[in-house]
Amino acid sequence: MRKLLLATAALAALGAGSAMADQIVVKDSGPMAGPVVAVVPAPDSVRSYVVANPRPAVRLEGEIVQGYVVPGDVELVPVPDNPDYVYFYAGDNRPVIVRAEDRSVVYVDADTVVDDGIPDELIGYVRDNPVDPLVLEGDIAVGYEVPVDARLQPVDGYKGYSYFYHNGQPYVVDQTSRRVVYYPR
């Protein structure tokens, strides 16, 4: 019975689209009774807006995961076309989408790379100084080796780092190895 309820909840979540609430709670009975919660992620339009509009990072205690309740002293930025959601960028420059109603996290970008000590000022410089995009092949992530013939832009004031843009996103590169060391998603 529990499997049937879970399958039904999952199908309902897929079919409901963005009009659906963020969670579906299915009650079950029996020895293992209790609520089963399926989290429905923020709509694609909200995620796209948040990624396209980064904010200065906010450092918080503990691990930020779905369901985490954001403290009241953290400034949350509204999503203009969807007042149900607000957001902030975590200390490691990951976008975090929050349900406005109760300040609970509904989406944390798990693919964003932690900055591993790259100064916030360097990241800010790269975001504030876009350059003509490079056309590159393959998936670009941390560790990606930028081809020798690709032109990289030096980061003023940060010897050893350069950067480029690809598909509207900035990528920071270690100049010695020509490998990507940071990118916000």
What's the rounded Cα separation, in Å, for the pair 161 and 175? Answer: 5
**Listed residue (44, 26, 96, 34) closest to 67, CA to CA:** 96
What's the rounded Cα separation, in Å, for the pair 152 and 128? Answer: 16
What pLDDT was estimated at residue 53? 83
What pLDDT was estimated at residue 29? 42
Structure tokens at 55: 């904010």
What's the rounded Cα separation, in Å, for the pair 51 and 32? Answer: 40
Q: Are strands 95-99 and 57-58 parallel, antiparallel or unpaired?
A: unpaired
pTM: 0.45
What pLDDT was estimated at residue 37? 39
What pLDDT was estimated at residue 111? 54
Structure tokens at 78: 């509204």
Per-10-residue mean pLDDT of the chain, 185 residues long, equals 40 39 38 44 84 82 86 94 92 86 86 59 89 88 86 90 92 88 76
**Listed residue (151, 150, 174) closest to 162, CA to CA:** 174
* Three-class secondary structure of residue 125 per DSSP: helix
DSSP 29-86: -STT-S-EEEEPPPPHHHHHHHHHS---EE--SS---TTPBPPTTS--EE-TT-TTEE
What pLDDT was estimated at residue 168? 87
